[in-house]
Amino acid sequence: MLICASGQKHDFIVDTGSVESIIPQSVLTELYPSAVIVPTDVNIRGITGHSVPSVGRRTIPVSLPQNTSIDCNFLVPASGPSIVGLKVLRSLQTSIILLPSVNGNELKQLISKCSKPTNGMKSPKVRLEFTGMSIFLKRRIIRFSLRQPVRQSLNLMCAKGILTPVESSNWATPIVTPLKADGITPRIYGDYRLTLNTRLLQRTYTTEEPEDVLYRSSGASVVSKIDLKYAYPQIPLDEASSNPTVINAPFGLFQYTFLPFGLNVSPAAFQQVMNTIAKDLVGIETNQDGVIVHAADKTTQDVRLLALLRRFSESNVAIHRDKCIFGVPSFSCLGYIMDGRGFKPETKRLSTSAYLESFEDLTFNKDRGILKKVIKEGSRDIKPCPEDTVVVHYVGTYFGGEQHGEQFDSSRAREKEFEFTIGKGEVIKAWDVGVATMKVGEVCELIAAPEYGYNDGKTMKFEIELFDTKGMDVSTKKDGSVRKSVLDKGRDLLTPTVGLDADISYRTFGGPDSQDFRDVSYIVGDPATNAIPECVDLAVRHMHTGERSLVRRAGLSEAPAGDVANAMEQAYEVRLRTFEKAKRLQSLTTFTEQISYAETLKSKANDYLKISKFDLALSLYERLHDDLQYIIPNGVEEHKILDGVITAVRLNMALVYLRLRDANNCSDKCNKILETDPSNEKALFRLGQACLLRKDHEDAAVHFRRIVQTNPNNTAAAQQLRVCEEAINLAKEKERKMFRGVYERFKETGLGAPGSADTSTTDMEKSAA
């Protein structure tokens, strides 16, 4: 022990077997050069029986922590060790604890035993308290390259008893699969923030801050750090608590039998169990999956370590032998360096703290759980909107702690961009929040605290580059050429109908803030009349009252040379103020009202057809045709009226398809009519015209001939029949000429007998006639 005398510190050996204390004359002279030694007849005898003669006695004032001192009596031999005996120890009011000797073999055996896998801790099963209805979410699609590794990880967790397959459940949470440092093996976590975490009752038990744990350990001369294997999945759950932990993977449903990562109560539950196991053990500090053993000397530390490992052995606690540190004077822990002088932040912790000063806090309550720093500004002033699909590259590393800077996942290493939907919970919370603030082309660093990441106690840093953000595809061909992103949601469920009126406001996106919106009323589906961009009209068809959206039209690759406006991407901000609500025929009360409104819609569609606005006309016809199928007539007369309206609509739809040169759909509508009215002249005529579109003159002639046979006065059908017959005769004449040419070539080459050739010619000519 260190004793301060005359303002100087000197190291003494503590000998509880000696009553007297000893200070050699050389040390005394160094402390007190003019010290007077009082003669004495007391000699010093060692435990082996040998005698050490003393020069005399000397009283030395020893300084105490309270800025006071006490006189202590020492024997002074000529030489030898400095020893503090029981008299001085009692004068200094020092507590004496006699330590048993530690069996080194037992320590080794316990370390080896605790390093082996167990079937979970022998602790009371954790019970999760929750309220509210169960939540079942469908599984997420996992990219093909990860499917086999994920299957293997699930199988391994089942083999260890951590997971159990289940046939069905009213709870299910989709999984997230971040990769481990090897870049190959996935971790399996349930994304419980969408399900169980919203229902769990929080525990009053909390985890301590690292500084509190290290403060109690500071000043220790010898320390050990025990790292637990598996951590949370060592603690068993009771059966009722296992049911809501079901995860939904591509290969089925799996239920946790042990405490999973990702639950917001797991840290508190785990800490409570660990504190219970280490209860009443002196010099033991528990902090999640790390346990610190500290003492002033190695003997005491070994005794404390032995006591802890005995508890671990009794409780089936598994440790990670390769990550444990035993009996060292200092070590790094929880971002600090701890030794006999106390604890101080690691250099990398100080550097990370200063590093974070330039980051923006993105959290709602400003708890610095999501931090962002822009590395490269975006190339376009477009940010993702809720439910947009974003395309990114990222590199994920651990931030702070022992794994600081270690990479655990990278889309760049896989050479494949990553896509996810904003606000759908497909990624960790930090990503949903952080990526939504990025501009297209931007590169940023994102720091995610554990509660905004995987809830595994590790802070992560991501370098993310946003390549594109894609809203709902509203293009007619579903080729992504026109997309809509919702900036402000609307108020109702209905959307505008093609052919009816809508009031909108729109302006070019990215223009000056002072640029006015253009307010316009127009017929949905007819943007050209009011000089509205077609992409705006396509988006309006999918908007709700009061909705404000960003509409983007991709640049046209087929734009004429010099047409810069169409070659570049266009973006518009659009607001839907009001629109005409379409009635459904089935919502009307009487058959008369239904037929009357149907005639109104048909007349409106006919008007569009007359002025060649075929898309508008077809849209109204299709909607009307669908609604007519739900009208229930009463009696023969109503049946006749309804069939007449349906036939008229189908005939007009066939005419529109003819104008659009869509022979297949035209034929389909005509054949539907002919099923119930085989002699309908208009259906037969338009069916014949559809055949002509396909250059099928023979089938066309059949349909036109049927019309003429039943109505010889139908001059249009008779004319089309003549056209078909002329085309057929012309084709046959071409065939005859072709066969004659083939015959002549055969004769010239001498192939075939003249007699047989003559016979063949006659047969071919007869066949082609």
> Is 293 among the domain residues?
yes
Lowest model confidence (mean pLDDT) among 245-254, 361-370, 632-641 = 361-370
Specify whether 621 is catalytic.
no
Catalytic residue among 22, 162, 428, 631: 428
Say if residue 596's pLDDT is above 70: yes
Say if residue 123's pLDDT is above 50: yes
Q: How many CB atoms lie within 10 A of CB 314?
A: 10
Catalytic residue among 270, 454, 572, 608: 454
Say if residue 762's pLDDT is above 60: no
Q: Which residues pair with 410 in a beta bridge?
A: 395
Percent of the chain whose predicted confidence (pLDDT) is above 90: 35
Q: How many CB atoms lie within 10 A of CB 118?
A: 18
Specify whether 685 is catalytic.
no
Same domain, 291 and 312: yes
Catalytic residue among 409, 432, 456, 627: 409
Say if residue 227's pLDDT is above 60: yes
Specify whether 409 is catalytic.
yes
Specify whether 462 is catalytic.
yes
Same domain, 692 and 711: yes
Average confidence (pLDDT) over 206-234: 81
Say if residue 310's pLDDT is above 70: yes
Asked if 630 and 638 touch (Cβ cutoff 8 Å), the reply is no
Euclidean distance between CA atoms 36 and 58, whole angstroms: 7
Same domain, 310 and 167: yes
Asked if 406 and 397 touch (Cβ cutoff 8 Å), the reply is yes
> Is 97 among the domain residues?
no
Q: What's phi and psi for 229, nearest 5 deg?
A: -85, 140
CA atoms lying within 13 Å on the CB side of residue 267? 17
What is the extent of the structural domain holding 501? 482-554+569-579
Q: Name the strands in the sheet holding 548-553, side by side, starting at the edge strand that comes first in the sequence.
A: 472-473, 482-488, 548-553, 570-579, 501-508, 518-523
Helices of type H across 181-243: 210-217, 239-242
Q: Which two tokens mark 361?
A: 């806090």
Same domain, 419 and 448: yes
> Is 119 among the domain residues?
no
Same domain, 361 and 460: yes
Predicted local confidence at residue 9, as pLDDT: 74
| Averaged pLDDT score across all residues of the chain | 84
Predicted local confidence at residue 42, as pLDDT: 79
Specify whether 597 is catalytic.
no
Average confidence (pLDDT) over 212-218: 78
Residue pLDDT, tens place only, 705-725? 999 999 999 999 999 999 999
Say if residue 510's pLDDT is above 80: no
Same domain, 498 and 450: no
Residue pLDDT, tens place only, 315-373? 999 998 888 888 888 777 766 777 767 777 665 554 556 677 789 999 888 888 899 99
3-state secondary structure of 544: coil
Same domain, 28 and 160: no
Q: How many CB atoms lie within 10 A of CB 32?
A: 16
pLDDT band at 262 (very low <50, low <70, confident <90, very high): confident
> Is 455 among the domain residues?
yes
Lowest model confidence (mean pLDDT) among 311-315, 421-425, 592-596 = 421-425
pLDDT band at 560 (very low <50, low <70, confident <90, very high): very low
Same domain, 615 and 534: no
Q: How many CB atoms lie within 10 A of CB 224?
A: 23
Catalytic residue among 74, 256, 261, 394: 394
Q: Which residue has the higher pLDDT, 167 or 105?
A: 167
Q: What does the DSSP 8-state code read for residue 38?
A: B
- Given 344, 370, 391, which residue is the final one in a domain? 344
- Given 344, 378, 404, which residue is the final one in a domain? 344
Q: What's phi and psi for 105, nearest 5 deg?
A: -65, -40
Same domain, 216 and 312: yes
For residue 608, give the amino acid letter: Y
Residue pLDDT, tens place only, 83-118? 888 788 877 766 554 444 456 688 888 888 998 877
Predicted local confidence at residue 756, as pLDDT: 47
Q: How many domains does the chain have?
A: 5
Predicted local confidence at residue 245, as pLDDT: 93
> Is 607 among the domain residues?
yes
> Is 753 among the domain residues?
no
Q: Which residue has the higher pLDDT, 63 or 754?
A: 63
Residue pLDDT, tens place only, 453-466? 887 778 899 999 99
Euclidean distance between CA atoms 341 and 343, whole angstroms: 7
Specify whether 432 is catalytic.
no
Same domain, 88 and 184: no
Catalytic residue among 462, 657, 685, 704: 462
- Given 449, 470, 491, which residue is the final one in a domain? 470
Say if residue 388's pLDDT is above 50: yes
Q: Which CATH number fits the domain that encloses residue 324?
A: 3.30.70.270
Same domain, 573 and 679: no
Q: Which two tokens mark 281?
A: 């053990």
Burial of residue 742 (CB within 10 Å: 0-12, 13-18, 19+) is exposed
Say if residue 203's pLDDT is above 50: yes
> Is 755 among the domain residues?
no
Same domain, 340 and 356: no
Q: Which CATH number fits the domain that encloses residue 430?
A: 3.10.50.40
Q: Which CATH number fits the domain that encloses residue 656?
A: 1.25.40.10
Q: Which CATH number fits the domain that encloses residue 54?
A: 2.40.70.10
> Is 664 among the domain residues?
yes
Catalytic residue among 74, 232, 408, 591: 408
